Amino acid sequence: MPAEIYGEGYQFLAKPELLTFEEIERLARLFVGMGVEKLRITGGEPLLRHELPQLLQRLIAIDGLADLALTTNGYLLGRQADALAAAGLSRITVSLDSHDEQIFKQMSGRNFGPQRVLEGIDAAARAGMSPIKINCVVQRGVNDHTLVELAGYFRERGHIVRFIEFMDVGTLNGWDLTQVVTADEIAERIDGEFPLEPIAPNYAGEVATRYRYRDGGGEIGIIPSVSKPFCASCTRARLTIEGQLVTCLFAESGVDLRTPMRSGNSDAELSQQIQTIWTARNDRYSELRAGLATSPDKSGARSKIEMYQIGG
């Protein structure tokens, strides 16, 4: 979130505009009723939501839900880990692009280092969460020289680092292809220090390519979102905090579910609307990216929802 826009005086959405826990739970139930098995709470920053453990409890209680995950920047995790675990959250993903003091400050745009996030990760481990995954977005010339060290740090602690190719989500991160370190190069660099071997996906459509350390020191994942797009097997739907259903990370807009929900639509009507949106989707931006970026009308520069609104 650019500091020059979201400064101290910025007026964020008024509370009535946010989905309530009841509304989130209701939509989650409908999605699970239509076959969704896994939910991920992301953001924005989910640990900023007041009384988040109550929402987790409600979601975990949904019949038919197999997995609940959460992605956080870890800043508030130290003090919330126990409450999240007590609410039933059994695993967590923490974003940490580098554990180098200076690089962390530069990438987070804040004047504090990674120590507090590392302590949050330790707190999650003490609270019994497992696996703990660390998301590291790799940007050439920014943090790519610290990858191997990061892998080594978490290898020792038994956590799974997932290296993610830097994506052109939204319009504000100044992305260009030269900043992308491909999954193959990431694997090669880590393999140079800690020899790796590929392992099978946990399930069909898993976005991370998995590797294990040949010496038995655990595993890593690499997400080749740019170099090997996985649009064809993508089954993710995203729900924004205002109730927009978004069918692609690179979408220009979503479809409003809050208005029909608040105007009294029944569960059957809402399910029907969701089904219509889902079956009509034809998003495949990542597969089209290369062609779009070089097209004469520069259609690659279209407007896209920003990452902090859509959650990664």
Instruction: List contacts with ligand SAM (CB under 6 A).
Output: 42-43, 45, 71-73, 95, 135, 137, 164, 166-167, 169, 173, 307-308, 311-312
Closer CB to ligand SAM, residue 278 or residue 308?
308
Q: How far is the CB of 49 from ligand SAM (least distance, A)?
A: 11
Cis peptide before 131 (omega within 30 of 0): yes
Q: How far is the CB of 95 from ligand SAM (least distance, A)?
A: 3
Closer CB to ligand SAM, residue 72 or residue 211?
72
Q: How far is the CB of 215 from ligand SAM (least distance, A)?
A: 27
Residue nearest to ligand SAM (CB): 312
Closer CB to ligand SAM, residue 95 or residue 146?
95
> What gap in Å lies between CA 115 and CA 101, rounded to an integer?
8
Q: How far is the CB of 110 from ligand SAM (least distance, A)?
A: 12
Cis peptide before 44 (omega within 30 of 0): yes
Q: How far is the CB of 266 from ligand SAM (least distance, A)?
A: 32
Closer CB to ligand SAM, residue 270 or residue 288?
288
Contact 129, 155 (CB under 8 A): no
Closer CB to ligand SAM, residue 135 or residue 240?
135
